[in-house]
Amino acid sequence: MIGLLAAGAVINVAVAWGCMIHAYHNSKPLGPYVPDFVPTADDQNWWKRRSPKGMVPPDAVNEYKYVGYRERRVFGDGPLLNVNPPGTLRELSVRSRAGWPLAGVYCEWFSVADPQGPRGIGRVTRGCFDPASHPATASLSRVVPVIPLTPLFPGFAINTLFYAAVCWLLLFAPFALRRRLRRRRGLCPACAYQVGSSDVCTECGAPVR
């Protein structure tokens, strides 16, 4: 049972990461994409609680929805916007949720004004791994900006149980069905030897009933 749950958790995380990679590279948003709409009260409150100290107040929001992935971006004009080369653009706060059938992992990351960072922008992460922060994984940053690591409940637990059940069906259900069919035909469930009404297989000694 523990092994099935562990396998379910691993598959759960792998599917979530796969949904994120697919969203970034191989699919279109679900439904119309509406750029730069006004931040809601929830966006403002989240930004006040979670954004790094010194980030500018947000003035616009973008939201992306894909199969198994949702990302909400809150923007504000950074203090270095007018003194850096084109492409610096704006400070950014991002909330990402990934997983299927429910969102199971979560992360936050922030692009903040930093004169020493690439194009005047640095990155702060919470609940995720930044591939660009380590030379060994820097190439992954060309695939996704971050890798979410924080479990999001109850979705993480439900997804884990779902994938554990799928593993059980694939690994054990066929053998359980085969044993049941053999018993109904009067055969030993272990070796398929004809046993008739005996309670023990006369060939291999396995219990029949």
pLDDT at 114 over 80: no
Amino acid 98: pLDDT: 96
pLDDT value at position 30? 55
The per-residue DSSP string of the chain comes to -HHHHHHHHHHHHHHHHHHHHHHHHT---SS----SBPPPHHHHHHHHHHSPTTPPPP-EEEEEEETTEEEEEEEE--TTTTTS-TT---EEEEEEEE-SSS--EEEEEEEEE-TTSGGGEEEEEESEE-GGGSGGGGGGGGT-S-EE-EE-TTHHHHHHHHHHHHHHHHHTHHHHHHHHHHHHTTB-TTT--B-TT-SB-TTT--B--
Return the pLDDT at 121.
65
Q: Looking at per-residue confidence, does 97 or 50 come out higher? A: 97
Give the pLDDT band (50/70/90) at residue 140. Answer: confident
pTM: 0.77
**What residue has token string 């790094």?**
52
Computed over every residue of the chain, the mean pLDDT equals 83
**Would you say the C-alpha torsion 73, 78, 80, 86 has a positive or negative sign?**
positive
The mean pLDDT value for 5-18 works out to 96
Find the mean pLDDT for residues 74-92: 62
Residue 118's pLDDT band (cuts 50, 70, 90): low
Confidence bin at 89 (pLDDT 50/70/90): low
